[in-house]
Chains A and B, each alone.
Chain A
Amino acid sequence: MDSFNQLMSGFGTALTLTHLLLAAIGVLLGTFIGVLPGIGPAMAVALLLPVTYGLEPTGAFIMFAGIYYGGMFGGSTTSILLNTPGESAAVVAAIEGNPMARKGRGSQALAAAAIGHFVGGLIGTTLLVLLAPTVAALAVDIGAPDYFAIMVLAFTAVTSVLGSSRVRGFAALLIGLVIGLVGLDEMTGQQRLTFGSLQLADGIDVVIVAVGLFAVGESLWVALHLRRRPAQPIPVGRAWLGRDDLRRAWKPWLRGPLIGFPFGALPAGGAEIPTFLSYAVEKRLSRNKAEFGHGAIEGVAGPEATASASAAGTLVSMLTLGLPTTAVAAVMLAAFQQYGIQPGPLLFQREPTLVWGLIASLFVGTVLLLVLNLPLAPVWVKLLKIPRPYLYAGILFFAAVGAYAVSGQVADLLVLFVIGLIGLAMRRYGLPVLPAVLGVILGPAAEQQMRRALQLSDGSLIGLVNTPFSIVVYAIVAAVLLWPVVAAVRKRGAERAVTKV
């Protein structure tokens, strides 16, 4: 009950006019910045850091929280409308969101995303209030073997997005894994596939890969084929979610946060893997499996709620442990230190006004996000009314600006367009793009965790399965893999029984 009272006083802090205004500015700025590919929420917060020195800490952090949530949402707007993910957590939203937009259901996709973020943020923040200390204690117990087990699970889920041809799907996955290998080996510092270029030493940013494969590849493809088809703008349909949409979306909205929140709280969790797992789960559970890949609303609603809840989860480990689990959290941690505040186990006792004000403003932020963005959805969708040549020119422009903005280097532009050409070739030969992006996300993470686990056990393979958590995850993997076999055997058995009778 104590935390409830403190939360209420937190609302007292958050709901003053100044703080509301700061939260609203943060959400708006975050949304607009998130829309630009390449400039993610982390960079937005970092760039605004010096500006907020003039504010008192509570106000500054309320604004940061707004930017964070806004940025997460802004990233999915371009993902859905232009097939250009604004940041890595929004990659999954493009899979179903963009086909929806092309069918003239762009505003429904955006509304599903906005409500998804609202629900995800609400549930995530509630879990943050209720579970922060418990989750934080558990997060510390999750180690490299457990992460690797989760990666294995994610890899088995990849099969759900391979598309109609398994061979092509796996080929695309391998392309992604190879792109993921570029850069310095994190464990030993050796160079891999960098061709002696310093620009490639850090590897290729996932956002650049996603923007290159999705947006640039797509634009080039359309440019090659535009002559053959009349250049008609994409239809812009009705502006509101129908009853059918709501019926299909409400469960994914509620399921998403349950996947996203724990991942966000994990030190190596992030938002990419949970959004993707949520997509796989929704696809498996949906009654409209055939529609997946062609604009299924579940595939937008679930992952978006997941992304938002994982953002809330991130704050758990940052506030209670001083552990930054994402780039945004790291920047916010730096900001805390600028104000002489040390996040960690003692923060809740030392700075209750700040912490509870921040948490309350997260609730306020999610509400503001919904209020500001639902009416904006039809406005954003009007972008699609632009005739295609101009629309795709614009997409190329924003993709290039975004890639350049990541670090202001021409080399990044070259990488972007080389990957764009790969994307074009993949479309030409019918290779699905998504497994490649997943390869870039999962490959390096899985490699690092596996090698780390083996290093910790001094090379013994037992080190991969020596925790209860990893054993449970492997059991789930086995169940997922064996289920079709078991089902087939049982079906055959049942048929045989029928023929005997």
Chain B
Amino acid sequence: MRVSPLLAALAALAAVLLVPPLLSSGDSDSAGLRGLRVLVPNSPGGGYDITARTAVKAIEDSGLSSGVEVFNLPGAGGTVGLGRLVNERGNDKLLMSMGLGVVGSVYTNKSPSSLANTTPIAKLIEEPDIVVVSKDSPYTDLAGLIAAWKANPGAVPVGGGSSPGGPDHLAPMLMAKAVGLAPKDVNYVPFDGGGELLASVLGGKVAFGVSGIGEYRDQIQAGELRVLAVTSGKRIPGVDAPTLQESGVDVDFTNWRGIVAPPGITDTARDRLVKLLSDLHASGAWRGALERNGWTDAFQTGPEFGRFLAAENARVADVLRELGLA
């Protein structure tokens, strides 16, 4: 489908006048799904933001609902938004886009509200982390890296794109535990987002990096980076690297994103929201979006997602407690 550029430009102009901060919510469509709002607990352009906006666009394109508003309430690794969601008890018109990062932030920020207070709706996608080194690195396989790491963890700094408690921090900590290193001994160097980390891995400043695969694909394809392992239970298509478990490190770890709702909503309301996301999952628009963004489908709903959340929470708390962060 092709939209006339002039029309699109006019639409852009109109949107600028309407978009910031006082977005108006539209009204139409089946009762109960009218005036839905999606809270994004990080800033525009961040991971939860892109997931939310992509999902909402797919929902609207496939006619499941319309006039869904996405708004950002960033702060403290998502826990400011989480606090707001938990406060909106019983509001069945509100959803929050979230992910593994929020689980850890609850601990590092000592947030009064936790994900256990929310109503789980659905897990949407997951993204495995990769263990990556530059092409000039002395480490050609995971075994070599682990041997050097165990010999002197301080001299093998690991870089990650998230602050303590985030996915890139948790993955090496879980690896360390699996190979018999104390998480406290791991020399973890946090970087702002993936960009600075990528430069540090390319320049050999850190011994290895742990990061989502997203912005690294091109570098891997160009042969600038070498992937030693993927952290998920299954291999990633198009990436020639074993899983951690295949390499003898018993860790199965993936970053994931999903949707939760405020506590205290009725069962009917919850089922309606679960159905909306199930319909989204079945839509062609969503499948196209998954492919475009390179996301792995990891759909899970309601109680099943709730149990998953609880398990993730326990695992994260365990690691952070050893580091004195929880």
**B-binding residues in A (CB < 8 A):** 18, 21-22, 25, 29, 33, 39, 42-56, 59, 63, 139-144, 184, 186-189, 191, 196, 198-199, 201-202, 267-268, 317, 321-325, 327, 329-331, 333-334, 337-340, 342-347, 404-405, 407-409, 452, 455-456, 458-459
Q: Are A407 and B222 in contact (CB under 8 A)?
A: no
Query: What is the CA–CA distance of A50 and B20 in the complex, to the nearest angstrom?
Result: 13
Q: List residues of B (31-67) whose CB comes within 8 Å of A's CBs.
A: 43-45, 49-50, 53-54, 57
> Chain B contacts of A334 at CB under 8 A?
45, 50
Looking at chain B's contact residues, is the secondary structure mostly helix, strand, loop, or mixed?
Answer: helix
When C-beta atoms are compared, the residue in chain A nearest to B222 turns out to be A345
Task: Give 22 A-B contacts (CB < 8 Å), ordered by A residue.
Answer: A21-B5, A25-B13, A29-B12, A43-B20, A44-B16, A48-B15, A49-B45, A50-B15, A50-B57, A52-B12, A56-B5, A59-B5, A184-B163, A198-B80, A198-B109, A201-B79, A322-B219, A323-B198, A324-B194, A338-B293, A342-B215, A409-B80
The answer to whether A52 and B49 have CB atoms under 8 Å apart is no
Chain A nearest CB, measured from B68 CB (Å): 11
Which chain B residues (148-182) contact chain A, with CB distance < 8 Å? Answer: 154-155, 157, 163-165
Min CB gap B94→A, angstroms: 15
Judged by a CB distance under 8 angstroms, whether B83 is at the interface is yes
> Contact flags (1/0) for B9-41 with A, using CB distance below 8 Å?
101110110011100000000000000000000
CB A247 to nearest CB in B, in angstroms, measures 40
Chain A residues, CB < 8 A from B292: 337-340
Q: Across the interface, which residues of A come within 8 angstroms of B199, CB to CB? A: 139-140, 142, 267, 317, 321, 323
Q: Measured between alpha carbons, how far is A459 from B189 in the docked complex, in Å?
A: 13
Specify which of A21, A323, A337 is in contact with B293 (CB 8 Å cutoff).
A337
Q: Please name all residues of chain B whose beta carbon is closer than 8 Å to the beta carbon of A333 when the two chains form the complex.
A: 215
Determine the chain B residues whose CB is within 8 A of the CB of A42 once the complex forms. 44-45
Q: B8 near A405 (CB under 8 angstroms)?
A: no
Q: Are B154 and A459 in contact (CB under 8 A)?
A: yes
- A18-B9, A184-B109, A346-B222 known; 4 new pairs, CB 8 Å cut-off, are A46-B44, A48-B15, A143-B205, A201-B80
Residues of chain A with a CB closer than 8 A to B110's CB = 191, 196
- Contact partner of B20 among A47, A202, A329, A338, CB < 8 A? A47
Given contacts A42-B44, A267-B199, A409-B80, contact A49 B12 (CB under 8 A): no
A29 touches B16 (CB 8 A): yes
B196 cross-chain contacts in A, Cβ below 8 A:
267-268, 323
| Residue among B196, B219, B292 having the largest count of chain A Cβ atoms under 10 Å | B196
Q: How many residues of B contact A (CB 8 A)?
A: 70
With beta carbons under 8 angstroms apart, the residue of B8, B75, B164 that contacts A55 is: B8
Known: A186-B190, A267-B195. A18 touches B6 (CB 8 A): yes
Interface of B toward A, CB cutoff 8 Å: 2-3, 5-9, 11-13, 15-16, 19-21, 43-45, 49-50, 53-54, 57, 71-77, 79-80, 83, 108-111, 154-155, 157, 163-165, 187, 189-190, 192-196, 198-200, 202-203, 205-206, 214-215, 217-219, 221-222, 224, 292-294, 325
Query: Measured between C-beta atoms, what is the minimum distance from A398 to chain B in Å?
Result: 13
Give Cα distance in the complex from A188 to B108, angstroms: 9
Minimal beta-carbon separation of A244 from chain B (angstroms)? 40
Minimum CB–CB distance for B286 against chain A, Å:
14
Q: A45 CA to B49 CA in the complex, in Å? A: 13
| CA of A405 to CA of B83, assembled, Å | 19
B111 lies within 8 A of A198 (CB): yes
A346 contacts B221, C-beta separation under 8 Å: yes
Q: Would A51 and B12 count as touching, CB distance under 8 A?
A: yes
A409 adjacent to B45 (CB under 8 Å): no
Minimum CB–CB distance from B290 to chain A (whole Å) comes to 12
How far apart are the CA atoms of A198 and B79 in the complex, in Å? 7
A324 to B194, CA, bound (A): 8
Known contacts A186-B163, A196-B110, A323-B198; A46 and B45 CB within 8 A of each other: yes
- Given contacts A143-B200, A267-B196, whether A63 and B12 have CB atoms under 8 Å apart is yes
- Chain B: minimal CB distance from A119 (Å): 28
Complex Cα–Cα for A325 and B53 (A): 23
Smallest Cβ-Cβ distance to B13: which chain A residue: A25
Complex: A10 Cα to B234 Cα, angstroms: 43
Nearest CB in chain A to that of B164: its residue: A189
Given A22-B5, A189-B165: A409 in contact with B73 (beta carbons within 8 A): yes
Determine if A407 and B73 form an interchain contact, defined as CB atoms under 8 angstroms apart: yes
Are the CB atoms of B5 and A55 closer together than 8 Å?
Answer: yes
Contact residues in B for A342 (Cβ distance below 8 Å): 215, 217-218
Q: B20 to A321, Cβ gap below 8 A? A: no
7 closest residue pairs by CB, A with B: A344-B218, A46-B44, A189-B164, A201-B76, A331-B45, A54-B3, A458-B154
**B187 with A455: CB separation less than 8 A:** yes
User: Which residues from chain A contact B198 at a C-beta distance below 8 Å?
Assistant: 267, 321-323
- A33 / chain B contacts, CB cutoff of 8 Å: 16
State which of A29, A45, A46, A49 has its C-beta within 8 Å of the C-beta of B13: A29
Give B156's nearest chain A residue, CB to CB.
A458
Closest to A331 in B: B45
Pick the contact of A21: B6, B190, B192 (CB < 8 A).
Answer: B6
> Are B193 and A51 in contact, with the CB atoms below 8 A?
no
Q: A143 to chain B: which residues have CB within 8 Å?
A: 200, 203, 205
For B215, the chain A residues whose CB sits under 8 A away are 322, 324, 333, 337, 342-344
